[in-house]
Amino acid sequence: MTITLKLFELVDGKTRCISFSPAVWRAKFALNYKNVTYDSIPLTFLEIPIQIPKACPNVPAPTVPTLQLEDGSGLADSFAIAEYLEEKYPDRPSLFGSPSEKNLQRFFESYVQTKVHPAIQRMVFHDMYEMQDEDNAHYFRTSREKSSGRPHAEIAGDREENLKELKDNLGLIHRALLPGGWILGSHPGWADFVLASSFVWFNACSPNDFQEGVLDAFDDQVIRNYWIKVQQYIY
């Protein structure tokens, strides 16, 4: 009997159908790009600390994504999952390429997390809250207020300022995409899936703002065409 890998992922509390976590999507992109079969296990915020320790007792701090391997153990963190897939399936398309390409992609990952994510995080805040059922909404609100040190009403900030910050920080990425259509040029890799995951997150939570803040941010089709190409790995 073939044992299928299981990926524990975050979904909204109301429909349980919307997978929006950028960290989870990095792992999903890696699995899909490598053409690895897996089952998705949808969890809400409040289910994560309950269900993952039951399934994967070896994971000390339950979080998503967690990939349950063939032996039943769990592997947390999207980058660790990507490295596992790269080692286990070396005959399939590479996520990292050469060591130097891997280092550059890790640098790009840091850029996306520090320069692109903050504006998106503020812009999706209210929509992420509205996507939750009552218990998960309470958890989301109180945990974000605690981590940010600000009341709920102030966390999102000013929409126009957020849009400007996002466009400014997407500018370098927009120019990087011009030569070949992917961050690496002619083929996708980890850097692309890091960026695409932030777009999936934004679009899943706030599609109208995603349209304005990403797809319509520049007076050409570069990012829009990039988003179209990414769709082949979204499933």
Q: Is the pLDDT of residue 206 over 70?
A: yes
93 in a domain, yes or no? Answer: no
Q: Is the pLDDT of residue 213 over 90?
A: yes
**SS3 of the chain:** CCCCEEEEEEECCCCCCCECCHHHHHHHHHHHHCCCCEEEEEECCCCHHHHHHHHCCCCCCCCCCEEECCCCCEEECHHHHHHHHHHHCCCCCCCCCCHHHHHHHHHHHHHHHHHHHHHHHHHHHHHHHHCCCHHHHHHHHHHHHHHHCCCHHHHCCCHHHHHHHHHHHHHHHHHHHCCCCECCECCCCHHHHHHHHHHHHHHHHCHHHHHHHHHCCCCCCHHHHHHHHHHHHCC
Final residue before a domain boundary, out of 41, 66, 88: 88
CATH of the domain at 35: 3.40.30.10
Our count of domains for the chain comes to 2
Q: Are residues 142 and 211 in the same domain?
A: yes
Q: Are residues 129 and 153 in the same domain?
A: yes
pLDDT tens column, 79-105 = 999 999 999 999 999 999 999 999 999
| Statement: the pTM of the whole predicted model exceeds 0.85 | yes
At residue 1 the predicted structure's pLDDT band, cuts being 50, 70 and 90, is very low
Q: Which domain holds residue 42?
A: 5-88
Final residue before a domain boundary, out of 88, 122, 148: 88
Q: Are residues 125 and 225 in the same domain?
A: yes
19 in a domain, yes or no? Answer: yes
